[in-house]
Chain A
Amino acid sequence: MLIRAVLHRIATGLVTLVVVSVLIFLGTSVLPGDVASIILGQMATPESLAALRSTLGLDQPAYLRYFMWLGDLLSGDLGISKAGSGAGTGGTPISEMIAPRLANTVHLAGAVALIAVPLSLGLGLAAAARAGTRLDRSITLTTLGLVSVPEFLVATALVLVVAVYLGWLPATAYVSGTETGTALLKALALPTLTLVVVASSQIIRMTRASVLNVMSSPYIEMAVLKGLPRRRIVLRHALPNAVGPIVNVIALNLAYLVSGVVIVETIFAYPGLAKLMVDAVQTRDLPLVQACAMIFCSAYIVLVFIADLASILSNPRLRYPR
């Protein structure tokens, strides 16, 4: 029963990926212009464009390129980007371009998750446990307020105060690419802080909501009537039954941290994957766009899958069928 549920989830995940790849193909194929026209930009002439296109091998029909790409993808090859090669014949393997960016993204996301998840769970549970009290209300309102502030405002404000005026931390992450140890931590501090603010508020709200949801069920009343202290009721009796939605929202936020943090990466000049995709779109580097998009979507699907798994495992009915 458990196995069947898991297998089913995996299957749907794979199907979704295929749909995604098609959507990506359709999506990228509607983009006007191509990498050649972007490279030459204002200085493009029909002839020079034609010339560059042929050297870049852009003169095959789109669907052909798509299937070639899909084929390569299945054989684990993300393809070649024309990055840096100019009119030359060379090109950069996309895997090479993505690897360092992916690493950066994972670092950042990891750092944020490490701080945000425990923090938000704590606050969320506190709010739920003391529902209706001043503590609860202040937490709820603060999170609401933060939810409603545009990310880039949070980021810029932080930079101004911490980096520009106080000069405690660098304003941008990772400029020289040679940072290590404390320097690295310092470089990561501000972007991490920003994203913690952004990600936490949602998890907090969700935790509170779903725990409160459970708090109204008879077995919680039973626990109360057994004279259990509040901490124990919330942590031991309510939380295990609220895991589902919470892990779900955590997963969604992690997915966002992987793929949605363009703004933060831009403001802190942080060479992450999201910014790479934006650049790739703007330079019509289609193989690169497709590769990034696939990574993002898979990340989402995998994370959601893990969340599902967690909530399945948290449910004894599925773990121990009668």
Chain B
Amino acid sequence: MAALLEIEKLVVNATGGADYPAPVIQGVSLQLEAGEVLALIGESGSGKTTLALSALGYAKPGLEFRAGEVRLNGDDILAMAPDEKRSLRGQRVAYLAQSAAAAFNPALRIGAQVTEASVLHGQLSQAEADRRAADLYRALGLPDPDHLGRRYPHQVSGGQLQRLMAAMALCTRPDLLVLDEPTTALDVTTQIEVLKAFKDVIRQEGAAALYVTHDLSVVAQIADRIAVLYAGEIKEYGSVDEILHRPKHRYTRQLIDAVRPPPDTALGPLEAKDAEQDVPALEVTNLTAGYGRKQASGQLLKVLRDVHIRVERGHTLGVIGESGCGKSTLARVISGLLPAMQGEVRLKDEPLEPSLRQRERRQLQEIQFVFQMADNALNPHQRVDQLLGRPLEFYFGLSGDAKKQRIAELLHMVELPPEFSGRYPEELSGGQKQRINLARALAASPEILLCDEVISALDTIIGASIIRLLKRLRQQTGVAFVFISHDLSAVASFADDIAVLYAGQVVEQGPARRVLAPPYHPYTRLLIASVPELDSSWLERTLALRETRASIDQAVEITDRGCPFYRRCPVAIAGTCDRETPPSHTLDQGYTIVCHRSEAELRRGSFS
């Protein structure tokens, strides 16, 4: 039988021609059989989204189809009249956008948006469509399927929205699904369930799918075949197995190398130093911080509660936790952007004023903050040399050639050619921006770098290269890091010590190899279990684990009584965990777990 989707010698150009050095898609051909899942993998800018969208006969504004054919069940989509295209879209081919939060219309009820297409294309009556939607909600494991539709997008969680979008796409029973990085924006723990849901639904609906992503380990779970896209061309094309285990093309190998091995007891941290016993570079003691006015205790929202952390000179403390656990707040408190309510921050044993206004310039210079989003952290109206030059003037009064030279050094440190000093941020790629962002912090030759999610916005390969860079910098400069991330494997591959943060509290803390080995705090275990592996069977395996099943997509809630993890904890002791604040077991020097369970119980490993 003929393939469901055939793309032949497709060429896509930018309308503004001259702006782009090359076509976005240059003569790509591929085929997709009914019911199979094809993963398009590649870094940002590789044209994978553009290629996927061609299956809907759609080119983003600024792009246009130049040559080639896209056939769905034999009929050429690109040649279609507008009306034909319209009846094709949403009906025979459905699209799942990268960010459901953005793709759902904030002004309309969810149900209306999910059923809209099928009703408009005259497939179903509104009533039927609603029933179909409810079924899909159920299939996707969404709570309260019968009333979910009446809610507005902002009223459900990110993970749920992502699945709701799947429902929206599937409602019309399309032959082909186009999924554009549907899990990238999610926390690891959430990602599993969403992946699972997609996988199951795609199977039972028997739809074919184009799955666009940059994350091989995700692909491994869901795809039948993989097309590796680079610079608008397909570099390699084959079954998951071939690609993962017998990669031919260099770029594919790069991708595979970039996938950080899952942390487990086998792999300790890379350079584990023993904590020297002199004064730590940074110490935070029983810190409590939050937003809202202090006096009005009612409105007061505590984001961090009674946090102790310690960063040795030249060491790296990894702070890990899901979004909303307060890790960014921690960085802001340390930097002084957000004055703490209680507790103190000590820099090399000298107490710092809570607010940066009262801190001395020297203290400010020794703690540097590297912000999560380089795009927002770099003023688009300043050239690189201005961005890097300012701290040099500001802290060291450098100017003229001395400054130029130092800037050149800094660029070299972050592996960028000196001519970049003349560029504006918008002329740089994401990775390059992040490097400039780092270089600016380094310009202050600080004692401590606060890195807040510095790689989470980047593609795997680029992320990996940044990590490599950080490691090198740590050796060269002996600077200490507070490395904040939601990506356990990233932390594991870089940190000497790890603090696991949940709902504003440190639940486990200690040297990386101890934290990443039993005994685990139940939450740490959940995190570890959730990190996808380059193995197609991983998803099923990990979902079999009790703790992951137990804690399916529960919203993180901040409680004052008992253990914050209680509602998600598979080993929670009713009557205790929900009432009393859990004790902190100090297992040995600098290694603590905060849990009601005894060390022995915890050590007994997987509770399954």
Contact = CB atoms under 8 A, between A and B. Distances in A.
- A–B contact via C-beta, under 8 angstroms: yes
B154 A236 contact: no
A226 interface: yes
Interface string B106-139: 1110000000110011000000000000000000
B72 to A, nearest CB: 13
Nearest to B157: A322
Nearest to B99: A218
B103 A219 contact: yes
B105 A225 contact: no
B49 to A, nearest CB: 11
Interface in A213-238: 216-219, 221-229, 232, 236-237
A219 B105 contact: yes
Interface of chain A: mostly helix, strand, loop or mixed: helix
Given A316-B152, A320-B152, A322-B155, A228 B107 contact: no
Nearest to A239: B107
Contacts of B99: 218
A315 B87 CA distance: 31
A225 B106 contact: no
Q: From A240, A314, A315, A316, name the one whose CB has the most chain B CB atoms within 10 angstroms.
A: A316
A317 B106 contact: yes
A226 B103 contact: no
A241 B107 contact: yes
Interface residues of A, number: 24
A218 B102 contact: yes
A273 to B, nearest CB: 37
A229 B86 contact: yes
Contacts of A224: 58, 89
Contacts of A222: 95, 97, 103-105
A226 B89 contact: yes
B232 interface: no
Interface string A51-89: 000000000000000000000000000000000000000
A316 B120 contact: no
A93 to B, nearest CB: 48
Nearest to A225: B95
Given A225-B58, A316-B152, A236 B108 contact: yes
A227 B154 contact: no
With most chain B CB atoms within 10 A of its CB, the pick from A221, A222, A229, A315 is A222
Contacts of B152: 316-317, 320
Given A218-B103, A219-B103, A316-B154, A226 B108 contact: no
B373 to A, nearest CB: 18
B154 A232 contact: no
A316 B89 contact: no
Question: Which of B94, B99, B116 gathers the greatest number of chain A CB atoms within 10 Å?
Answer: B116
20 contacts: A216-B61, A218-B102, A219-B104, A219-B106, A221-B60, A225-B58, A225-B95, A226-B94, A227-B120, A228-B86, A228-B120, A229-B120, A240-B107, A241-B105, A241-B106, A241-B107, A316-B106, A316-B107, A317-B154, A320-B151
Interface of B: 53, 56, 58, 60-61, 85-91, 94-95, 97, 99, 102-108, 116-117, 120-121, 151-152, 154-155, 168
Interface of A: 216-219, 221-229, 232, 236-237, 240-241, 314-317, 320, 322
